[in-house]
Amino acid sequence: MKAREWGVLIVLSGAIFLEGTDIAMLNIALPSIRTDLGLTTGSLQWIVSAYVLGYGGFMLLGGRAADMFGRRRVFLAALIVFLLFSGLGGLAENGATLIAARFITGLAAAFMTPAGLSIITTTFEEGPKRDRALMIYGGIGAGGFTLGLVIGGLLTAVDWRWVFFAPVGLSLVLLVAALAVIPKSERPDRSGQRFDLLGGLTITGAVVLLVLGVERATHVGIGMTGATIAASLVLLAVFVAVERRTANPLVRLGIFRSGPLLRANLIGVLFMGGFFGFQFLVVLYLQELRGWSTIESSLAMLVVGIDVILAPTVTPKLVRRFGNVPVLLAGLGFAALSFALFLPAGADWSYAAMLPSLVSLGLAFTLAYGPLTIIATNGIKEEEQGLAGGLLYTSFQFGAAIGLAAVAAVNVAATASDAPGAVLAGYRAALLVPLAAAVLAVVLGFLNLRGNHRERTEEPAELVGAA
């Protein structure tokens, strides 16, 4: 790569690392936030839900905006908003201000993330160079998720407000660097095109309601959850009808004919659902059952961050030798192994007993995240790269929401009794959820391998790049 290309890659990798750590750091700071601001459990949950709604709900809109209005322009504007409202969150003196700040921060990330990914996929031509760039980008992004707990624990030990102030500092550095290294490009030619406002409103409403229904499933009655999801499906049907009739659709429905893209998004839902559910349970196990401190729990998860080192260095070599799909499949296998190894967790388990599971999770991220990103974006037209990135990260966010909701529901149901050992039994029962998600992802990975071979055999000229 040229020096300018390295600069672009480092800045955008820093942005996806920022986004990953922002999510993970907050999770471990929540108890301190509740104590300091005197929040109820419901209000505390909304601090998480507000970000998820802003991020997951507006991701497709953000991806399409990047394609239509200019990727650099959208990325920089979103980064500025992210910076400002992250700082507002750190200054919040009440729950309402913090919840509002988190929603806008999530919304900014929904525009920043697909714009950043599409800058990479359009800067580097499809092939080995783009694959290497996406491996580095994916590895550093995955490191944000895995190292966020560690960083968040250390910052929370000083003051929970640093969980919000630290991203402000990093955002400012990235903003200055982005202005210097991300090249300006010609404004996209939108002559004869109109922004699909109705499509944007309906799909955003559908995704927001769907994420809200899943996120709040363990806190409201089944009737409210059913009504919310039903309303989401109605809006989704309206969106499909609108997209079929409009001359300039927000989401060209034909993009879903790409088998690799569709399977990558389904795997993304399962992979992130399993990871976030497992992370949630491990933190509860360490802090509530074992009585470990925030810092001890954070440092225990440090080994998961090996992907920051291995993903940019080892994974590209494996991909060059074996291909994206086999490496992805190996990563999914390590995820399933990680969750299975933690199932026998006992009330007196040593850290050495936990270590194989945590190392396996780090290897899962090392091998899965980058190839999954490549598969989801290869073979997609340049003018739809923002949309492809938006779809993938919407899948990640929805997977995280549904994974957390599912493990929380199973954990609560399994610990309903006061019998000795009920808490540990609840954790073990809930661990079956991420395990099932990982196993299903492995099955889809095998289908991807077969589909990849069939598509290469039947339509090599058209679909080789998508594999």
Q: What is the pLDDT of residue 449?
A: 66
| pTM, full prediction | 0.80
Distance from chain centroid for Cα 276: 9
Predicted local distance difference test score (pLDDT) of residue 419: 64
Q: Which residue has the tokens 């709900």?
A: 57
Report pLDDT digits (tens) over 79-96.
999 999 999 999 999 989
For residue 194, the model assigns a pLDDT of 67
Q: What angle do CA 32, 38, 41 make, to 5 degrees?
A: 80
User: Could you tell me the two tokens for 408?
Assistant: 């929380």
User: What is the spatial distance between Cα 453 and Cα 467, in angstroms, rounded to a whole number?
Assistant: 8
Asked if residue 33 lies in contact with residue 44, where contact means CB atoms within 8 angstroms, the answer is yes
Tokens 């925030």 belong to 294
Q: How far is 147 from 166, CA to CA, in rounded Å? A: 14
| Mean pLDDT value across the chain | 84
- Specify the CATH superfamily of domain 3-184+250-463: MFS general substrate transporter like domains (1.20.1250.20)
Burial of 93 (0-12, 13-18, 19+ CB in 10 A): exposed
In this prediction, residue 459 carries a pLDDT of: 42
Q: Where in the chain are the domains? A: 3-184+250-463, 196-249
What parts of the chain have a pLDDT lower than 70? Answer: 41-42, 45, 186-195, 215, 218, 416-420, 448-467
- Which 8-state DSSP code applies to residue 252? -
Helix (H, G, I), strand (E, B) or coil at 192: coil
For residues 259 and 442, what is the distance between their CA atoms, to the nearest angstrom? 16
pLDDT of residue 175: 95
